Amino acid sequence: MIALNEHFRRYDFESDLEKALNRVDFFRIFHTMALRYGFEHFGVLQLTNEHETSLLAQRLTLHDLPAGLAEAYDKRHRFNDSDLFKSFYVSTISTVWRDGDRAADQGSPHESFLDQIGFDMALSVPVHSVAGTRFVILFLGDGDDIGRTEHFEICYEAACAFDYFHRQVLANKAGMGLTPRETEILRWISYGKTASEIALIVSVSEHTVNSHTATILKKLDVVNRTQMVAKAIREQIIQ
């Protein structure tokens, strides 16, 4: 993890974030953040072009929603037509959506996301990566309204957690050097070994081998294992 400049002021979030290694660690961070502020669930949504059809399930890069909820939503509703989705393309201000607030908003031509998904409250925190790609951290729950101070705090925490999550997990790492473990796996791939065989040889899980392989693909900027090995030999990463 690239250390941030120590001279800037930041607030007591470093320990967990600096130590976060993988998607499970960021799941833990966002999940406990949601619970701490009275929500039940979180979702990290990636935004693209407003007019491109967006399935909720495909936009969620990390979430703790009950299994099948996003897919069930997509079968019944068009996420693009919801008030929540539309709002992301009007403003980047963090917003609280409450079931009870809607009476004042009856003139809205868009469908209520809260009605559609079945929660009483949502809080959105629009964020973006250093490369400019847009994301929204969404918190959902049925609890009491969130106060101003807590709203400010969760915005700050969510933005910080997202920053680490993006740099550690989501960022395109093209051009970055391979770690010794990645180089070792690359070498076994070049010998024609399968993921399960490499897992046995290197004493890790097959999941870990696949995850390292995906990172090597990103770092070498290639699309498959054949091109990966060819490029690694050309670049003299392996002999």
Partner 1 sequence: MAAHVNILLVDDDPAENVILSALMRKVTSYAITLHYVETIDGALDFIRSSGIALDMILMDNRLQPQADFRETVPELRRAGYIGPVGVISSSISDAYFQKIDDYGVDFRIDKAELDPTAIEFLLREYVRREASAG
Residues near partner 1, by CB under 8 A = 15, 19, 21-25, 27-28, 31-32, 41, 64, 66-72, 75, 181, 196, 199-200, 203-208
Q: Which is nearer to partner 1, 4 or 57 (CB)?
A: 57
Q: Which is nearer to partner 1, 1 or 93 (CB)?
A: 1
CA distance 232 to 52: 36
CB of 3 to partner 1, least distance (A): 14
Dihedral over alpha carbons 218, 220, 222, 227 (to 10 degrees):
-140
Q: How many CB atoms lie within 10 A of CB 14?
A: 14
Q: Which is nearer to partner 1, 5 or 203 (CB)?
A: 203
Least Cα distance to 69 among 110, 29, 118, 28 occurs for: 118
CB of 39 to partner 1, least distance (A): 12
CB of 23 to partner 1, least distance (A): 6
Pairing outcome for strands 60-63 and 95-98? unpaired
Give the CA angle between residues 141, 147, 151 to the nearest 5°: 75
CB of 63 to partner 1, least distance (A): 8
Q: Which is nearer to partner 1, 75 or 148 (CB)?
A: 75
CA distance 30 to 157: 9
CB of 158 to partner 1, least distance (A): 18
Q: Which is nearer to partner 1, 92 or 211 (CB)?
A: 211
Q: DSSP letter for 5, please.
A: P
Q: Which two tokens stand for residue 116?
A: 């559609």
